[in-house]
Amino acid sequence: MSICKEDIGDQVLDAARRCLVRNDGRKVTIAEVAREAGVSRPTVYRRWPDMSEMIRALLTREVLGIVAAVTEATPLRTADFDAAIDQVVRVVAALRDDELVAALWREQRDFMTPYVFDRLGTSQRGVLDLLSGVISRGQTEGQVRDGDPAKMASMVLLITQSAIQSRALVESILGDEWSIELHHALTSYLRRPDDLPPAN
């Protein structure tokens, strides 16, 4: 039975993920991935010219897969603002706990940091689109403050990325309550001013 190109691509990405996780995020070679996937190196090179491009494709699949899994497991059946924020926090928690993402942040900072300081990746653009949609719906329902959904989504992305990338910086302070504080931060930023609880 022949294997379609998409199946081979996923087979190679699955193998790359296993290699990277097994190596705790340290660099692996095309040859290692091909061997793990049970395909030839030319088969891999026809899809990705180098490991950097393969890891980019793998990260895109990983991040968007996590977002899809969380949103499908806890779909928003109502226009509930708190439920929407809860869902965003669950996505952040899943990304913080993901072994591939964590391993790459530990061992391949040079590869990962451009997506913090220099440019948006495909997965980040996909997340921005999702956040913009959530914010726009919240505005329609009168639960999110006025503003440009795309600009507000970009700030939410910055806040949530920091919770993932800089977790070690304040982990000794926040501990397990990081998700509560993130929920407060996002709520304060997005909710209509007249809907916020009074300050103590």
What is the per-residue pLDDT for 5? 58
**Region of poorest pLDDT, from 52-56, 94-98, 161-165, 176-180:** 161-165
| Phi and psi torsions of 183, nearest 5° | -60, -45
Which residues of the chain form CATH 1.10.357.10? 50-195
For residue range 114-165, what is the model confidence (pLDDT) as tens digits? 887 778 888 899 889 889 988 998 899 888 999 999 999 999 999 999 888 8
Q: What are the φ and ψ backbone dihedral angles of 78, each rounded to 5 degrees?
A: -130, 165
CATH of domain 50-195: 1.10.357.10
What confidence tens digit (pLDDT) does each residue in 37-72 have? Answer: 999 999 999 999 999 999 999 999 999 999 999 988
| C-alpha separations of 66 from 45, 53, 148, 149 in Å | 27, 20, 26, 23
C-beta of residue 76 within 8 angstroms of C-beta of residue 87? yes
What pTM, to 2 d.p., does this model score?
A: 0.84
Q: Is the confidence at residue 79, as pLDDT, over 70? A: no
Domain 1-49 adopts which CATH fold?
A: Arc Repressor Mutant, subunit A (1.10.10)
User: Average pLDDT of 13-36?
Assistant: 96
Label residue 194 by pLDDT band (50, 70, 90): confident
Delimit the CATH 1.10.10 region(s) of the chain.
Answer: 1-49
d(CA 144, CA 137): 8
3-state secondary structure of 47: coil
Distance CA(66)–CA(198), nearest Å, equals 35
Q: Mean pLDDT over residues 163-191, rounded?
A: 90
